[in-house]
C-alpha cells in the first residue's frame, strides 16, 4: 500500500496558493480605495485656476502698495480670532475674510468672516484646527495678505504683504 495524502492536506500547496491569493486580495482593496476616495489635490479646471493667479498677484501688489500688516491672535480655548489690521488705507472694510487652508486636505479648510470692531480690530469665531502646517489668507476684493503657521500655535501670527516680506 502506498502512503499518499490528498492534495489539500499538503502545507506546501496552501503556501503556493496563498501567495497569488494575497496579491489578488490586495489589488481588490486598492481598486476599492481608488474608486471610493477622491483626489483632493487635483484641480478640476486647471486652466481657469492658472488665469486666476494673475488676479491674485494684482491683489498681493495692492496689499504691498497699502503697506498692510495683520497681527492675528488665535484663542483656541474660546474658539475666537482677533486681528489687528494696520497700513496706509483710507477706509477700513467692515468685514474681512480669513481662510485657514490645509496643505493637502481641502475638507479641513476654514473660511472665517471677521467683523470690524473699531480701530483696525477685527474678530470672529473659529472651529477646532488640527496639528500641522496651515496656510493663511486674509483678503478683501481689493487686496490679499498670505502667510503660514504651525499648529499648535501660541502667540501672534503676523501677515505681511508679499513684497514687504522680502525687505
Domain spans in the chain, listed from the N-terminal domain onward: 9-36, 67-165
Q: What angle do CA 163, 165, 167 make, to 5 degrees?
A: 80
Other Cβ atoms less than 10 A from the Cβ of 72: the count is: 22
Give residue 165's pLDDT band: very low, low, confident or very high (50, 70, 90): very low
Distance CA(64)–CA(87), nearest Å, equals 9
Give residue 95's pLDDT band: very low, low, confident or very high (50, 70, 90): very high
Residue range 23-80, pLDDT digits in tens: 999 999 999 999 998 766 666 666 666 666 666 788 889 899 999 999 999 998 999 9
**pLDDT above 70 (res 82):** yes
Give residue 167's pLDDT band: very low, low, confident or very high (50, 70, 90): very low
- On the question of a cis peptide bond just before residue 98, with omega within 30 degrees of 0, the verdict is no
pTM: 0.67
**pLDDT above 70 (res 94):** yes
Residue range 97-132, pLDDT digits in tens: 999 999 888 888 999 999 999 999 999 999 998 888
Residue range 149-163, pLDDT digits in tens: 998 877 789 998 875
> The domain 67-165: what is its CATH number?
2.60.40
Q: What is the arithmetic mean of pLDDT over 11-19?
A: 93
Amino acid at each position: 500500500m502506498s502512503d499518499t495524502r490528498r492534495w489539500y492536506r499538503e502545507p506546501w500547496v496552501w503556501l503556493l496558493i496563498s501567495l497569488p491569493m494575497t496579491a489578488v486580495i490586495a489589488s481588490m482593496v486598492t481598486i476599492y480605495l481608488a474608486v471610493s476616495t477622491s483626489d483632493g489635490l487635483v484641480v478640476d479646471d486647471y486652466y481657469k485656476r492658472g488665469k486666476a493667479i494673475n488676479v491674485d498677484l494684482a491683489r498681493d501688489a495692492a496689499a504691498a502698495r497699502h503697506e498692510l500688516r495683520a497681527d492675528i491672535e488665535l484663542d483656541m480655548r474660546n474658539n475666537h480670532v482677533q486681528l489687528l489690521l494696520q497700513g496706509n488705507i483710507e477706509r477700513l472694510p467692515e468685514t474681512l475674510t480669513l481662510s485657514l487652508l490645509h496643505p493637502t486636505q481641502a475638507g479641513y479648510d476654514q473660511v472665517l468672516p471677521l467683523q470690524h470692531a473699531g480701530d483696525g480690530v477685527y474678530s470672529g469665531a473659529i472651529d477646532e484646527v488640527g496639528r500641522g502646517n496651515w496656510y493663511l489668507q486674509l483678503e478683501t476684493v481689493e487686496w490679499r495678505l498670505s502667510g503660514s503657521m504651525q499648529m499648535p500655535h501660541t502667540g501672534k501670527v503676523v501677515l505681511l504683504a508679499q513684497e514687504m516680506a522680502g525687505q
